[in-house]
Chain A
Amino acid sequence: MSDGARGPLARLAALAWSGVAAARLAPLRSLVTVACVAAGLVPYLAALGISRGLRDDAEAALAAAADLHVTGLRFGRFAPLPRAVCAEIEALPGVLSATPRVVGELSVGDDGLPVVVIGLPDGAAPAGLALARGRLPRSGGPLELVLGAALAERLHTDVGAYLPPFYHASTGERVAQVVGVLPADAPLWSAHVVLTSLDAACEMFDQRGLVTDVLVRVRPGYESEAKAALVRLPPPAPDDPHGPLRLRVVTRPELLAYLPRGVLAKEGAFGVHFLLAFALGIPLVLVASGLGLAERRRDAGLLRALGWGADDLLVRNLAESTLLCVAGAAIALLVAHVWLGLCGGAGIARVFVADADPSVALPYRLEPEAALVGCAVAFAVVMTGTLWSSWRAVSAPPREAMR
């Protein structure tokens, strides 16, 4: 019959649509296949989402960071710098400012919660730093702290509250007052941070006159020149009994390149896991495609007896597999979103952030491109897994297939 018959595109569309509709004819097989695809994709998408989120956070932090980051090296390892080096740095051509900073780790609270202490001179807080409540700490008076939102919550404290001494120093310990709290939606690095004045931080670590690094701002275009001048500076603290220090200078673009490296390595590990999962997925899909195989074979035989060609049936199967892959990928994307958004990436977050606090919202970014790549791989797997059964179904003579 040719009444109403249309061109090749309409024929393809009709065949494809029949394949889409065929997915409901074998619901168990369709469900198992979609579940296999989703199970393989979810960890990959979640890992990729966290990785991208962390990179976004790091890049945003670095975008507001100094032009040059100076640290001390002794025996090739990081060592504190004398605070006086800032004056030498500021005297170099092109340098606008040299801000000393202390970054270290302490533990607070009864359960020894690890926190990152950041000490900065008054007025040197990062541009754009906003507080949820309170104000920035000041030096010269009582010990004042600004806490990350998660930390304040864990310590059940807020602006105005006092914290008992949580560090040991040769000059004795002081009670600290919380004067500010960072916003809950601030980047992940700030969740467990304690921001204080430079002097207070030096006191907490019992390292008076020393800083962990210096943040240097230079005139636009002076980055290379300033870096070269910094490297040529005479070693600071030449009389130090522990030996001379060398300066390590890293530019902002170099930092941008370094920081995501760890995250990328973990992302790569998940890429390998993803491939392994799909290698395992092929036999699973094979098993799934075996569900109702006899019926599918009989249906294929019937359709061939009714005038369907082998290529028509393959197009139909292709459309069916595509639908199952797209459904699996869409479900995987949804589950990954729920896993990361509502469950905080429980179970996977620690792979990327070792001391991840479940109460802290993990930054993540789910990209459609990743889902598309996953979908394409899933498609390849499903096609590989169903190829044998499809081919068997369409290659048998119709009379045999119908038995």
Chain B
Amino acid sequence: MSAAPHVVVRAATRTHRAPGGRVVTALAALDLDVPRGAFLAVAGASGCGKTTLLALLGALDRPTQGSVRIDGVETRDASDAALVRVRRRVGFVFQHAPVLRGVPLWENVAYPLVPLGVPARTRRARGAELLARVGLGDRADDAPEGLSGGELQRVGVARALVGDPALVLADEPTSQLDADAAGAVLELLRGIHAEGRTIVVASHQPEVLGVAGSVLRLGAATPAATA
């Protein structure tokens, strides 16, 4: 494990223009270092900027001011192609577990491998392997339409791992789940962390915060923080 932090955030600010033209600050002047192998939870009330921060950490968005450096790549100035390369090294578990409808689960999991030219047979094997890991091995050929919220989130976790990322980001992964399903997802995240991956989870749920090694609390005033 290298001593250099996985992600370095300096004075990162993200503003949006609201429909009326008003400028809304979603995240203000945040400083953060995410060391390699950390399990960081980002906590705070709704609207405090958790999702915005994760989007910045996953190169899904760029800061309007300040700097976000992921594995040495400064995302604010990076080209689209560079951001795509960064995203391929990051696993992202989304809040609502979005999937491609009508596409078998194994294919949903392995879809990130398509632009890499990975052959279909290899993708299928990889998708099935990861589904087995999250307890859905027998449903690889099913369409996602019949799955429960907890199962869909497990598919989301499997998909986040398909590129074998060193950094996994999870945005409110258990907020829509019942206690059992949430426990299963948390167990998965713990297992992933045990493999040496860096985990950043946004959540306001105590169970999630209890699993994390450190907690970053974002408040209404969006304080500068380090994990």
A interface residues (Cβ-Cβ under 8 A, vs B): 1-8, 10-15, 17-18, 21, 24-25, 295, 298-299, 302-310, 312, 397-399, 402
Is B98 in contact with chain A by the CB < 8 A criterion?
Answer: yes
Is B183 in contact with chain A by the CB < 8 A criterion?
Answer: no
Binding-face segment, B2-10, B28-36, B118-126: B118-126
Given contacts A6-B119, A25-B102, A397-B61, contact A402 B114 (CB under 8 A): no
Given contacts A1-B164, A399-B60, contact A308 B115 (CB under 8 A): yes
Asked whether A14 lies within 8 Å of B118 as measured between CB atoms, the reply is yes
Given contacts A307-B88, A399-B61, contact A302 B98 (CB under 8 A): yes
CB neighbours of A8 from chain B (8 A): 117
Asked whether A1 lies within 8 Å of B87 as measured between CB atoms, the reply is no
Is B101 in contact with chain A by the CB < 8 A criterion?
Answer: yes
Shortest C-beta distance, B128 to chain A (Å), equals 14
Q: Given contacts A17-B120, A18-B114, A309-B115, list 18 more A-B pairs with CB under 8 A.
A: A1-B113, A1-B116, A4-B119, A4-B123, A10-B117, A13-B117, A14-B118, A15-B114, A15-B115, A25-B100, A25-B103, A299-B100, A304-B87, A305-B87, A306-B111, A307-B112, A308-B114, A310-B80
Asked whether B98 lies within 8 Å of A298 as measured between CB atoms, the reply is yes
Is B162 in contact with chain A by the CB < 8 A criterion?
Answer: yes
The total of interchain contacts (Cβ-Cβ below 8 angstroms) comes to: 96
Is B150 in contact with chain A by the CB < 8 A criterion?
Answer: no
Q: Tell me the interface secondary structure of chain A in the complex.
A: helix
Cα–Cα distance between A189 and B145 once the two chains are bound (Å): 62
Is B163 in contact with chain A by the CB < 8 A criterion?
Answer: yes
Given contacts A1-B163, A399-B60, contact A307 B115 (CB under 8 A): yes
CB neighbours of B61 from chain A (8 A): 397-399
Among A7, A298, A398: residue with most chain B CB under 10 A? A398
Cα–Cα distance between A1 and B80 once the two chains are bound (Å): 19
What are 26 residue pairs bridging A and B, where the CB atoms are less than 8 Å apart in the complex?
Answer: A1-B88, A1-B118, A1-B126, A1-B163, A3-B118, A3-B122, A4-B119, A4-B123, A5-B113, A5-B116, A5-B118, A11-B116, A11-B117, A14-B119, A24-B102, A25-B101, A298-B98, A302-B94, A304-B87, A305-B58, A307-B84, A307-B88, A307-B115, A307-B163, A398-B61, A402-B94
Given contacts A307-B84, A309-B80, A397-B60, contact A5 B163 (CB under 8 A): no
Cα–Cα distance between A215 and B121 once the two chains are bound (Å): 72
Is B55 in contact with chain A by the CB < 8 A criterion?
Answer: yes
Shortest C-beta distance, A26 to chain B (Å), equals 9
CB neighbours of B123 from chain A (8 A): 4
Asked whether A312 lies within 8 Å of B115 as measured between CB atoms, the reply is yes
Asked whether A14 lies within 8 Å of B58 as measured between CB atoms, the reply is no
Cα–Cα distance between A44 and B201 once the two chains are bound (Å): 59
Taking CB atoms and an 8 Å cut-off, the chain B residues in 12-63 that contact chain A are: 55, 58, 60-61
A10 in complex: contacting residue of B55, B94, B119, B126, CB < 8 Å: B119
CB neighbours of A309 from chain B (8 A): 80-81, 84, 115
Cα–Cα distance between A138 and B174 once the two chains are bound (Å): 99
Asked whether B111 lies within 8 Å of A303 as measured between CB atoms, the reply is yes
Is B197 in contact with chain A by the CB < 8 A criterion?
Answer: no
CB neighbours of A3 from chain B (8 A): 118, 122, 126
Taking CB atoms and an 8 Å cut-off, the chain B residues in 86-107 that contact chain A are: 87-88, 92, 94, 98, 100-103
Asked whether B102 lies within 8 Å of A14 as measured between CB atoms, the reply is no
Cα–Cα distance between A14 and B118 once the two chains are bound (Å): 8
CB neighbours of B116 from chain A (8 A): 1-2, 5, 11
Cα–Cα distance between A7 and B159 once the two chains are bound (Å): 23
Shortest C-beta distance, B200 to chain A (Å), equals 15
Asked whether A308 lies within 8 Å of B80 as measured between CB atoms, the reply is no
Cα–Cα distance between A12 and B81 once the two chains are bound (Å): 17
CB neighbours of A295 from chain B (8 A): 101
Cα–Cα distance between A127 and B164 once the two chains are bound (Å): 80
Asked whether B117 lies within 8 Å of A5 as measured between CB atoms, the reply is yes
CB neighbours of B117 from chain A (8 A): 5-8, 10-14
Asked whether B114 lies within 8 Å of A14 as measured between CB atoms, the reply is yes
Cα–Cα distance between A299 and B117 once the two chains are bound (Å): 20
Asked whether A1 lies within 8 Å of B162 as measured between CB atoms, the reply is yes
CB neighbours of B102 from chain A (8 A): 24-25
Among B58, B101, B117: residue with most chain A CB under 10 A? B117
